[in-house]
Amino acid sequence: MEAVDLEKEKKYNKWIVALSIIIPLAVAALFGVNLRTLGFDVEPLTFLPPIYAATNGLTAIILILAVIAIKKKNRKLHETLMKTAITLSVLFLVMYVAYHMTSDSTKFGGEGAIKYVYYFILVTHIVLSIVIVPFVLITYVRGITNSIERHKKIAKITFPMWLYVAVTGVVVYLMISPYYI
């Protein structure tokens, strides 16, 4: 077994902090920019929501498969699945931002108790999607630097949180999809 590379892990910490700040700020800033209202002649990317919802669903499945793989001591498969989950999450973000930069936001049309359920799921999804960024990055870095015990410890927090974000992304889409124009 390889030695833990704490020095390498420390070098990644600067990137983790930077990305944990930059990603949510960039998404928030770009979310508020609509290219069409700025005068750009772009078609709304209205086909993207079901694709990025499916990407979230696939991420959830891959996260579960990754946990199963590591419980079966298949580290190589676990690593591959985790890299795939990270890639899917990045693709989700790109599609999500592209959609919101070219399309008007859709308002939830439900009324009564379902409205409160929707907004609870939406708010917890958004908050945890911001919180999850440093957790995923720290967990990943601890894995690739062979800090396995520390990796396992934080992965027990990261996994359920990331799974919640992925699953609620699908739920939010399903709940709002009847109101897309």
Summarize pLDDT for 43-61 with one digit per residue, the tens: 999 999 999 999 999 999 9
| Domain assignment present for 109 | yes
Residue 149, token pair as written in the block: 């015990």
In the three-class reduction of DSSP (H, G, I as helix; E, B as strand; rest coil), residue 181 is classed as: coil
Q: What is the pLDDT of residue 9?
A: 80
Write the CA distances from 165 to 7, 10, 128, 172, integer angstroms. 31, 27, 6, 10
Whether the Cβ atoms of residue 4 and residue 145 lie closer than 8 Å to each other: yes
| Look-up of token digits 């699953």 | 167
| Domain assignment present for 98 | yes
> Which parts of 103-147 fold into alpha helices (H)?
113-144
Distance CA 108, CA 177 (A): 9
| Domain carrying residue 100 | 6-179
| Domain assignment present for 58 | yes
Single-letter amino acid, residue 69: A
Name every residue whose Cβ is closer than 8 Å to that of residue 114 and which is 6 or more positions away in sequence. Answer: 175
Reply yes or no on whether the pLDDT at 181 is more than 70: no
Nearest to 138 by CA among 156, 123, 125: 156
| Domain assignment present for 1 | no
Q: What is the pTM of this model?
A: 0.90
Between the two ends of the chain, the Cα-to-Cα distance in Å is 55
Summarize pLDDT for 11-22 with one digit per residue, the tens: 899 899 999 999
Reply yes or no on whether the pLDDT at 2 is more than 60: no
- CATH code of the domain covering residue 126: 1.20.120.80
Summarize pLDDT for 59-91 with one digit per residue, the tens: 999 999 999 999 999 999 999 999 999 999 999
Domain count, the chain: 1
Q: What is the pLDDT of residue 5?
A: 66
